[in-house]
Structure 1
Amino acid sequence: MNNKDYLKLDNQLCFAVYTCSKEIIRLYRPFLDKLGITYTHYITLLVLWETDPIPFKKLCNHLYLDSGTMTPVLKSMEKKGLLTRSRMENDERQISISLTQLGRELKEQAATIPLQMLCRTQLSPEEANTLRDTLHRLLKQLPQA
Structure 2
Amino acid sequence: MSPRAEHAPDTPDEARDADSAPGDGPSGGEPSLHLEDQFCFTLYSASRAVTAAYRPLLERLDLTYPQYLVMLALWQHGTTTVKDLVHTLNLDYGTVTPLLKRLEAAGLLARRRRPEDERVVDITPTQEGLDLRSQALAIPPALGEAFDLAEQDIQTANTILSQLIRNLR
What TM-score, normalized to structure 2?
A: 0.81
* Residue 116 of structure 1: how far off its partner (Å): 0.7
* Residue 128 of structure 1: how far off its partner (Å): 0.6
Q: Is 1:85–1:96's contact at 8 Å kept on the other side of the alignment?
A: yes
Q: Is 1:5–1:11's contact at 8 Å kept on the other side of the alignment?
A: no
In the comparison of the two structures, how many residue pairs are matched?
143
* Residue 53 of structure 1: how far off its partner (Å): 0.6
- RMSD between aligned residues: 1.1
Question: Could you tell me which of 47, 68, 74 is aligned with 1:21?
Answer: 47
Q: Percent identity?
A: 36
Question: Could you tell me which of 122, 134, 139 is aligned with 1:108?
Answer: 134
Q: Deviations over 1:5-52 (max 9, x none)?
A: 521111111111111001100000111000111001111111000111
Tell me how far apart the structure 1 counterparts of residues 122 and 64 of structure 2 sit (CA, whole Å).
Answer: 21
Is there any run of 5+ residues in structure 1 with no aligned partner, and where?
none
Matches within 5 A, 1:107-126: 107-126=133-152
- The structure with the largest alpha-carbon Rg is 2
Question: Could you tell me which of 110, 117, 129 is aligned with 2:155?
Answer: 129
Tell me how far apart the structure 1 counterparts of residues 31 and 64 of structure 2 sit (CA, whole Å).
Answer: 38
Q: For residue 120 of structure 2, give the secondary structure of its aligned residue in structure 1.
A: strand
Q: For residue 91 of structure 2, give the secondary structure of its aligned residue in structure 1.
A: coil
* Residue 90 of structure 1: how far off its partner (Å): 3.5
Structure in which a larger fraction of residues adopt helix: 1
Q: For residue 135 of structure 1, give the secondary structure of its aligned residue in structure 2.
A: helix
The structure whose RCO (Cα within 8 Å, separation 6+) is larger is: 1
The corresponding residue for 1:73 is 99
The corresponding residue for 1:62 is 88
* Residue 92 of structure 1: how far off its partner (Å): 1.2
